[in-house]
Structure 1
Amino acid sequence: MALFPPVNPISDALIVNRYLTGLSERERKLVVWRITRNCMLVGIISLILGHLVLQLFNLAIPVIQLAGGILICKAGFEGLQDSEAESEHKKSGNRVADGGTFAKIENKIFYPLSFPICLGPGTISVIFTLMASLPSKRDNMVELALSYGVIILAVIILCALIYICCLQGQKLMERLGESGGVVITKLVSFLTFCVGIQIAVTGISKIFHLNIL
């Protein structure tokens, strides 16, 4: 349950759909599958190698929250502006995107679609927090292995929800219509920007030991 709020598959689907406008059904499924796969890998690797990464780069979780919050703010700000892809779609209607458009989307599959939009620093910080609360190897190896297994299962379930919601994002936007879709897209982009600020401020408050919120 702690992992669901920072992931929020429904909100992710609305944001991702803005990037997938004009793609064919096959291309859309391929992109969504790659996004889901990336999120699953990032989540599981963060759990398994979290301690090692933090020690290797001498990083603290508040620093990750601050940097990730800035990235999310950037993604939300870009969503508030009329992108080149949206302008082309308005001119050409609902035509299927050509290979060049799909190539541009491919370059965005990991960043920003997989990270930080679908699975961002908020989720990684929650995974790190859950990992820190697990029993040590000296206490109970069976309990430790079971705890890791439960968290991995939760990550897999959330990634499955991301896959389903992102595939249904286009149908939802079609029901809303063009004007409704624009309103929802801009609203979600604004909320994404606010989430980025929230995560960044949380990181700042922990770094400087402030009671901001």
Structure 2
Amino acid sequence: MLLVFGALMPILNPPGHAPIFLTMTADYNSQERTILARRVGIYSFILLLISMFIGSYVLEFFGVSLPIVRVAGGLLVATAGWQLMSSGDDSHKSAGMLQVGETRPSNDELRERAFYPLTFPITVGPGSITVAIALGAGFNGPGLQKFSMPLASLTAVAITSYSLYLCYRHAERLLKLLGSTGSIIFLRLSAFILMCIGIQIFWDGFSVLFGELLVHYLKPV
């Protein structure tokens, strides 16, 4: 359990992703952010378990490699960061406030946004999915380990997902402390960091693919 928890927490990094969650939910009020935070925690738990138990089989079935997953996921994350950086400041100044003629999002709309992009690929991205798949590869242990290892992993994933919920649920306190101008600066910087994370994920996958390409064409005949 400690192994799985220690492997997932540095990558998921709930306190570090809380500012990004704030950036992505700047137009929602406190109640809606609570719903989104709870949904992100639930979806993260499900997605990590799926990746851990059957992720390798799914990728093998479709013939997709982990570097390809990183390249595609990195592009998604970088695109989300760019969209946030290029959006107008008015959306942040009126965060959570209902505009004239505007209706609040329904629960179905909140659930949809909670999965994409808040859960995937922002929270549970290619890096954490790769780690979960690698951890799941060690489930075929002897004797009682066949039962104890999956149970311990499930407990660790549940604790990690709950920590995501707590950090996202109370993230808006940061926004109140910063004030109006500080919030805009803070959200812009978070969007830039998000774009950088996406480019880093893309580069990690691209480097592996490029290295395999060089090995294939430069190997002696």
TM-score by length of 1: 0.84
Change (3 A) 1:42 1:135: closer
User: Which one of the candidate residues 120, 130, 134 is aligned to 2:135?
Assistant: 130
**Secondary structure in 2 matching 1:95:** coil
CA contact (8 A) 1:20 1:105 kept: no
Unaligned runs of 5+ in 2: 1-5, 213-221
Aligned residues: 204
- Residue of structure 1 equivalent to 2:218: none
The Cα RMSD (Å) is 2.3
1:53 deviates by 0.4
Residue type of the partner of 1:16? Answer: F
Change (3 A) 1:16 1:93: closer
Change (3 A) 1:141 1:181: farther
- Residue of structure 2 equivalent to 1:29: 34
Amino-acid identity (%): 29
1:136-185 Cα shifts (integer Å, max 9, x gaps): 3xx50422332222322222112111111111111111101122222222
1:199 deviates by 1.2
1:125 deviates by 0.7
1:185-208 Cα shifts (integer Å, max 9, x gaps): 222221111111111111112122
Which structure has the greater CA radius of gyration?
Answer: 2
Structure 2 Cα separation of the partners of residues 120 and 148 of structure 1: 22
Residue type of the partner of 1:39? Answer: S
- Residue of structure 2 equivalent to 1:75: 80
TM-score by length of 2: 0.81
1:27 deviates by 2.5
Residue type of the partner of 2:46? Answer: L
Change (3 A) 1:127 1:94: closer
Change (3 A) 1:96 1:10: farther
- Residue of structure 2 equivalent to 1:16: 21
User: 1:59-208 alignment to 2 at 5 Å?
Assistant: 59-83=64-88, 87-88=90-91, 90=93, 92=94, 95-96=97-98, 100-103=103-106, 105-132=110-137, 134=138, 136=140, 139-208=141-210
Structure 2 Cα separation of the partners of residues 76 and 22 of structure 1: 16
Unaligned runs of 5+ in 1: none
